[in-house]
Amino acid sequence: MPEPSVRVRECTKLFDMRDGYPFARNVLGFSDPSMAWIEDRWIMFIGGMVPTFRTNIYSFELPPGAPVTSDQWRPSPSGVVSARRLRPIVAQPGRGSWNRCMHSVCFARGVADGETVERIYHAGRSSETVLNGRLPYRIGYLERRHGESWRSAPAPLPLHGPGLPSVLEPKVEYHDGLWRMRFLTIPAAKPGSEDPAQFRIMHTTSVNGRDGWTTPEEWFGTKDGFFDSVVVHDDNRALMAITRDSDLEGRVNNPPQGVWLSEADGPGDPRPNWSRPARVFAAEDAGYEWTARGMCAPSAVWADPEHETLSVFFAGAPRDRTWSRLAIDAVRRRRLPPFPSPVYFTIGRLDLDVGGSSDLARLQ
């Protein structure tokens, strides 16, 4: 049998919450990156958690023209307050707002009301900290039009309801005149990541990406255990990168972790036209401590003009996360110990050689 055409080219750690960030002492951790090519450079929109455990959205960027595989990520100048302080791209929503804490970001550019707009879809909740385990998640977005600043939508999208009590992890693309979203729904009683057996990924479309969403249909059910799915395409094919929920809490009998790929002729194909997902990266067996407990929140982009390399950015869960051990190790290295936190995560990039024709069936 021929060798599979998909192989791991490189897996690179970009940020590690346990090490802290010399450029951002006022942010504890970054998570859920989303890539965007804007004007002449790559931009990374990413969720950030501050010492009060509230979350907001920040911006990093590469030098003009640098490839997305570059490691020269730096905070966007507009977000730099001082040498060690960053500001988010929008002010923190007020107390009681539906999106008081924002995360699970996804950049998308498309047409709404006859005008090209940029949006950052995100999950939000009205709690004072992202650690709240009771209130449900909702999905909304920030929007920016030409010459304007980012503005937050005043209300969440009308996606939750009977059977969809808590919705999060929006992954949105615009093509063929439609905004297409896949999102996660979980029981309202478990708005965190406690039970992967309850996860379902739904799919819906809208002409303007604001309202008029079609009735959500299930793309992945509770038996699949998937948490996120993002689509990238060219003129010849579409690839869907899929992940499970990374294990931040230390679950017992955690399901296999990593990245799966599925393929279809086009990004708007219905679910039956996509190939069965094939795991192309096994996180627990790959030998990277900093993502050994899995990855989630993928953002996939082509890394080369030939569309043979797919770069998948993600939030990872490290194996070593007990604060006492991390503190002792830091002291031995003559460094400050990390901030005590119930969770620690990393940011990484997985480069996959998918060839000119991936033929994922050979991996199944």
pLDDT, tens digit, 9 for 90 and up, residues 109-164: 999 999 999 999 999 999 998 878 788 999 999 999 988 999 999 899 999 988 89
313 inside domain: yes
Q: Give the structural domain span for 29.
A: 7-363
Mean pLDDT of the chain: 91
How confident is the model at residue 360, as a pLDDT? 53
How confident is the model at residue 3, as a pLDDT? 38
Q: Any idea what the Cα angle at residue 286 is, between residues 283 and 292, rounded to 5°?
A: 45
109 inside domain: yes
Which of 187, 176, 35, 177 lies closest to 105, judged by CA?
35
Give, in order, the Cα–Cα distances in Å from 140 to each of 107, 193, 279, 282, 357: 12, 20, 30, 32, 36
How confident is the model at residue 238, as a pLDDT? 97
116 inside domain: yes
2 inside domain: no
Q: Is the separation of the CB atoms in 322 and 281 below 8 Å?
A: no
Q: What is the pTM (predicted TM-score) of this model?
A: 0.94
Distance separating alpha carbons of residues 15 and 109, to the nearest angstrom: 26
Q: Residue 301 belongs to a domain with what CATH number?
A: 2.115.10.20
Distance separating alpha carbons of residues 286 and 302, to the nearest angstrom: 22
- For the CA atoms of 97, 103, 43, 340, the dihedral, rounded to the nearest 10 degrees, stands at 120
Q: Which DSSP category does 331 fall into?
A: H
How confident is the model at residue 189, as a pLDDT? 60
Domain count across the chain = 1
Which of 311, 188, 198 lies closest to 245, judged by CA?
198
Return per-residue pLDDT of the chain as tens, 364 residues. Answer: 233 479 999 999 999 999 999 999 999 999 999 999 999 999 999 999 999 999 999 999 999 999 999 999 999 999 999 999 999 999 999 999 999 999 999 999 999 999 999 999 999 999 998 878 788 999 999 999 988 999 999 899 999 988 899 999 999 999 999 999 999 999 876 544 557 778 999 999 999 999 999 999 999 999 999 999 999 999 999 999 999 999 887 777 788 999 999 999 999 999 999 999 999 999 999 999 999 999 999 999 999 999 999 999 999 999 998 888 888 888 888 888 888 888 899 999 999 999 865 455 444 4
pLDDT 10s digits, 269-298: 999 999 999 999 999 999 999 999 999 999
How confident is the model at residue 364, as a pLDDT? 47
1 inside domain: no
How confident is the model at residue 1, as a pLDDT? 27
Sign of CA dihedral 255, 257, 262, 268: positive
